[in-house]
Structure 1
């Protein structure tokens, strides 16, 4: 029997109506990189430096092995006594792949929203943004008991299918199905490797709590030939444990936490902060950008603040 709407309270679970409503919000933020030749991480026609004839002149720079000799700027070369070449830009498509986590750890929220709801909303906004720019967008929904794959297409019907799958996986979090996290993770890595070749934009939305060094290695490998952007969803209680006794859990298990004990608070908080710092440092070493988004403020408001001053 299908579950009633009352079974899935708003802000704890996501709905198809909410995801479709993200379209107008996606028009009001832009993940733009400062002082870069690339106009936008999520822009549709990504400018790229090419060695050869292009559409628009970009700059003159020192000649390097492999440059097209037809583009040598002889006037600058004669003036400087060093070989210089002209560089042009060309517009090209950049397909996107959105990987959104809907596993058990995402069914957590101490204020306002659960992490799974925030992740779903962010995924919807990114999907609409990419589609608006005319690029193909593919999706991977990662859950404890399976992986849903939608190959990159430039199609609104494909986005609707993506949203329906997110809602289905999100609502499964209320069930008592057995957890097979590692198996699902292995399947996700395998499928993404087969899908992503090079020059993709890969956006991973997760809390990154249970991921092994294997996934870290996988992310850094993908980033060698693609643009990878990580969004870490966190709840305020992960950063600061309240000074009270409370019970945390879901409809399967519960754990009592005594927040009045300083040692308990410090241990939990330090563990979370240490893991986050380590993960962020590892990503930074491989030049993989990571930003944190919380479960309190609206997603679009946070994105505007995170990427403010970068333009549209």
Structure 2
């Protein structure tokens, strides 16, 4: 059997495909550095922490106690009111991208599997951060283990990260889901050891099997770091097909009647309930979350996501 037949496109990823995402990463008009917002691809971030230099933020009315050296004389002359220039300290923000390649990600009903979309998003994020000059690394976790690439300002480092994604992705066809919880419980403490403070952490997953303990640990990461979650979904998870179909896992199969309104409504309510509960929990910790799906080209989805972010600013 040829390699192409064994690893069909859109079901599995290849290193070559992930490297092509560099072009997509270069095509985005992203948020300005002055915006204080958790953005997965915004490069250097404005920060109140001590940093390497100053980043201009705005001009506002002068108030008693402002440094007179920052008075903007041109604006003052034009408005006849004293204005001062406001700066924030710019600090390098190392980025750690955590990407899920476990069995629940090995599903897709339309265009791609969730695992492929997650891999593409991780590659785009890594290349964008690298382009902005920040250090970037990654953690790839699966059902039966995980790989860690420490953040560096190195293209070779990104390639190593993408190789790990490819390896874990291709192992999905034979992996066993039973060890997932044990792996996840080991991954989060490892991430916390890496991102001591002032990191940007991006977690890309479907977040279907996260226990309250793990969610609490994720929230702990956000205490001293910026954190953003990218939730990958498939249309069939929230919109049951209007037909009879066979659903199965590794041990059982059942026939589901998608035309049955009672079953369909319960299915939709179950998905929405789980998602909104998770989203609500993240809001408690002020952790932003956005969705990407398996049915729409990822570049189009990201343009819409960041377009909305920019519009709000």
TM-score by length of 2: 0.85
Q: Distance in 1 between matches of 2:169 and 2:53?
A: 46
Alignment of structure 1 residues 65-76 onto 2, 5 Å: 72-73=67-68
Kindly indicate whether the alpha-carbon contact (under 8 Å) linking 2:53 and 2:91 is maintained by their aligned counterparts in 1.
no
What is the SS of the residue equivalent to 1:182? helix
Query: Bigger CA drift: 14-23 or 214-223?
Result: 214-223
Shift of 1:252: 6.2
Could you report, residue by residue, the CA deviation over 1:205-249 in whole angstroms, capped at 9, with x for unpaired residues? 000111111121122111121111111000111111012111234
Could you report, residue by residue, the CA deviation over 1:58-113 in whole angstroms, capped at 9, with x for unpaired residues? 567778xxxxx8x655999xxxxxxxx98533332100000000000001111011
Q: Distance in 1 between matches of 2:210 and 2:38?
A: 32
What is the SS of the residue equivalent to 1:277? helix
Counterparts in 2 of 1:33 and 1:264: CA distance versus 1, 3 Å: farther
What is the SS of the residue equivalent to 1:5? helix
Query: Bigger CA drift: 149-158 or 46-55?
Result: 46-55
Alignment of structure 1 residues 93-104 onto 2, 5 Å: 93-104=92-103
Alignment of structure 1 residues 52-201 onto 2, 5 Å: 55=54, 58=57, 72-73=67-68, 88-177=87-176, 179-201=178-200
Kindly indicate whether the alpha-carbon contact (under 8 Å) linking 2:32 and 2:42 is maintained by their aligned counterparts in 1.
no
Could you report, residue by residue, the CA deviation over 1:111-155 in whole angstroms, capped at 9, with x for unpaired residues? 011100000000000000000001001101010000111111111
Counterparts in 2 of 1:95 and 1:229: CA distance versus 1, 3 Å: same
Does the alignment pair 1:22 with 2:21? yes
Shift of 1:55: 3.7
Alignment of structure 1 residues 204-223 onto 2, 5 Å: 204-223=203-222
Could you report, residue by residue, the CA deviation over 1:181-228 in whole angstroms, capped at 9, with x for unpaired residues? 111011101111110111111111000111111121122111121111
Counterparts in 2 of 1:30 and 1:41: CA distance versus 1, 3 Å: farther
Gaps of 5+ in 2: 72-83
Counterparts in 2 of 1:96 and 1:51: CA distance versus 1, 3 Å: closer
Instruction: Please name the residue that 1:80 is paired with.
Output: none
Instruction: Please name the residue that 2:291 is paired with.
Output: 292
Structure having the higher helix fraction is 2
Alignment of structure 1 residues 31-42 onto 2, 5 Å: 31-32=30-31, 36-37=35-36, 42=41
Q: Distance in 2 between matches of 1:100 and 1:106?
A: 10
Kindly indicate whether the alpha-carbon contact (under 8 Å) linking 2:242 and 2:259 is maintained by their aligned counterparts in 1.
yes
Counterparts in 2 of 1:115 and 1:6: CA distance versus 1, 3 Å: same
Gaps of 5+ in 1: 64-68, 77-84
Aligned-CA RMSD value: 3.0
Could you report, residue by residue, the CA deviation over 1:247-288 in whole angstroms, capped at 9, with x for unpaired residues? 234676544322122222122211111000111111122211
| Alignment length (residue pairs) | 297
What is the SS of the residue equivalent to 2:124? helix
